[in-house]
Amino acid sequence: MNLIQKTGITIFCLALTMFIGLLFTSSFTLTPEIAKEVITDESHFESLSEGLKPLYNQELSKTEFISGVNEVVESTNEHYRKQELWDNVIYTDYTFSLTRESLRGPVESNNPFLLFLILGAAIIGSLLYISQKWKDEPAGIKNNNVMFRSMTRRGALGIITAIFLILFYIFLYKLPAYIIEWVRLFDPVSMFIKGQPASQWFMYGFLYTVAIVIMGIRMFKKYRHSNYQILRNTSVMFFQISFAFLIPEVLYLLNLPAVDLKNIWPLDYTFFFEYRINEYIESGTIGIWMMVWGILLIIIGVPLFTFFFGKRWYCSWVCGCGGLAETLGDPYRHLSDKSIKAWKIERYSVHLVLVFAIVMTGAVMYTYFSGNSNILGVSSYDIRSWYGFGIGFIFAGAVGTGFYPIMGNRVWCRFGCPLAAYLGIVQRFKSRFRITTNGGQCISCGNCSTYCEMGIDVRWYAQRGQNIVRASCVGCGVCSAVCPRGVLNLEVKNEKGRFGKDLLTGNNNTL
């Protein structure tokens, strides 16, 4: 590691330390004015105001403040439950908003400066490291020493990174008030883009996009010899910046449903929820078009595009989850388990999630049209809640990203994504796309299997001259890129049933 790389890592670590340190620099002071401004429901304010009085004008720590607010709300609700005044029970979560407005400290007083300092240092440090990593090496994928680095061999640094990512998702989804300093740090960006203070989801979307862009630049440098990889990486970055981040914000400014138009059911498991359907209908012609667009993608777009291009058209070129896995998760791709046992677990797991998504959606639609939420004694709202917690939060978020340094970068895509299961079924039986092999040229080096992020033992197929027909294959093409003998190619069948030109790139040998 040269001096510039060491400098880059040092700057990045300093930025990360400052970012984490922000969580311990604030105090919180609630005033009657703040309470009145945040709790806009008059009945709620009347119910809570007496309990909040002991907190007024007190300088409290974050834990003291959040615990105090939660205790007031819970004691008020407990009183109403005992009196069986169910209509008076408060379900609105005011903790996050009250914590946000009561914040006092460096983030409140020096917001733009801290944002510029921390974010700028993190980006500069990353780019310095990336700019020098392959400077003196010829073009070609280099994965040297990955099993000798603590970060990429499940060492201490990798475990610490995994714990940090898991904790980040836990606080983001369930305890956002505890990371309020991070949320408020991004207020200047949010105000510039949408004219409103940042929410935890705006912060997350912005950081998600920055991660894909910065690590995408790393991908450009690492895969600079492959036009296919450059094109694929450009597509991932484009769809994340535009469709996943900017377009929803523009739609929000226009008072339209702020949705990611490339997010397809069942990955977008809330698509058929009643509030989403009502939101589309209330938005008029454009809202109806959005709903029809989503339905057409499900029943026509997915099978048609997968027939011609395989599941790579979405998983490797469009999907935001796949985009983060391909960029931020690329250093960990060799950690994907290639065993038969892992494959069996993968097949059962991902298809069970698909079945769960279908059942949950069916229950939600039944409630929407019938008005009855009980199905065979089970509430459809409970099913929706179980799915959101178990799949949306635990599997897709905390495990799906947090386990990059432990189980490889495609944990969610392999074991949990219901859309990947749907795409995989079409690819396995009705797609013209395959990775073809020339077994006579294979020297059994194992590069292809080692760097398959989807846990496929590609060498097993290559040694036998068999095409890769696994439903899990996302067509990333890295197996072909690391093959020293040109054994593997991404191809599609022509009208006569023979493999030849790739419809996506126009090349016979795409890599």
Residues 317-343 have a mean pLDDT of 95
The residue written with tokens 């895509």 in the block is 413
Q: Are both 199 and 284 inside the same structural domain?
A: yes
Q: Are both 191 and 272 inside the same structural domain?
A: yes
DSSP, residue by residue, 402-451: HTHHHH-TTHHHHHT-HHHHHHHHHHHHH-SEEEEE-GGG-----HHHHT
74 token code pair: 């819970």
**Amino acid type, 32:** P
More confident residue, 297 or 137: 297
Assess if residue 20 is contained within a domain: no
DSSP, residue by residue, 125-158: HHHHHHHHHTTTS-SS---TTGGGSGGGTT-HHH
CB 391 within 8 A of CB 163: no
pLDDT over 90, % of the chain: 79
5 token code pair: 């790389």
Give the pLDDT confidence score for residue 499 in this predicted structure. Answer: 53
SS3 per residue for 286-345: HHHHHHHHHHHHHHHHHHHHHHHHCCHHHHCCCCHHHHHHHHCCHHHHHHCCCCHHHHHH
**pLDDT tens digits, residue range 76-101?**
999 999 998 888 899 999 999 999 99
Q: Are both 95 and 179 inside the same structural domain?
A: no
Tell which of 71, 104, 137 closes a domain: 104
CA–chain centroid gap for 36, Å, is 36
Cα(453)–Cα(337) distance, integer angstroms: 9
Q: Are both 181 and 256 inside the same structural domain?
A: yes
Assess if residue 196 is contained within a domain: yes
CB 197 within 8 A of CB 186: no
End-to-end CA distance of the chain: 29
Assess if residue 264 is contained within a domain: yes
Cα(185)–Cα(174) distance, integer angstroms: 19
Q: Domain of 305?
A: 145-331
Assess if residue 503 is contained within a domain: no
Tell which of 71, 87, 104 closes a domain: 104
Please work out, in degrees rounded to the nearest 5, the angle formed at the alpha carbon of residue 158 by the alpha carbons of 157 and 162: 115
117 forms beta bridges with none
Confidence tier at 501 by pLDDT (50, 70, 90): low
Cα(177)–Cα(93) distance, integer angstroms: 11
Assess if residue 88 is contained within a domain: yes
Q: Are both 64 and 206 inside the same structural domain?
A: no
Confidence tier at 504 by pLDDT (50, 70, 90): very low
Assess if residue 275 is contained within a domain: yes
Burial category of 429 from C-beta neighbours within 10 Å (exposed 0-12, middle 13-18, buried 19 and up)? exposed
Rg (alpha carbons) of the chain, rounded to whole number = 25
Q: Are both 386 and 255 inside the same structural domain?
A: no
Give the number of domains in the chain. 3
Confidence tier at 505 by pLDDT (50, 70, 90): very low
Report pTM: 0.93
Q: What are phi and psi of 470, to 5 degrees?
A: -65, 135
Cα(411)–Cα(325) distance, integer angstroms: 9
Mean pLDDT of the chain: 92
More confident residue, 451 or 503: 451
Q: Are both 83 and 227 inside the same structural domain?
A: no
Give the pLDDT confidence score for residue 109 in this predicted structure. Answer: 87
Assess if residue 412 is contained within a domain: yes
Give the pLDDT confidence score for residue 473 in this predicted structure. Answer: 95
Q: Are both 236 and 359 inside the same structural domain?
A: no
**Amino acid type, 200:** Q
Q: Are both 320 and 380 inside the same structural domain?
A: no
Q: Are both 323 and 347 inside the same structural domain?
A: no
CB burial of 142-166 (b: ≥16 within 10 Å; e: otherwise) equals ebeebeeeebbbbeeebeebbeebb
Tell which of 421, 447, 465 closes a domain: 421
Mode of pairing for the β-strands spanning 488-492 and 378-379? unpaired
**Angle, to 10 degrees, between the axis of helix 3-21 and the axis of helix 111-133?**
150
Q: Are both 178 and 264 inside the same structural domain?
A: yes
**Amino acid type, 58:** Q
Q: Are both 303 and 174 inside the same structural domain?
A: yes
> Which range, 51-65, 125-139, 468-482, has the best average confidence (pLDDT)?
51-65
Assess if residue 443 is contained within a domain: no
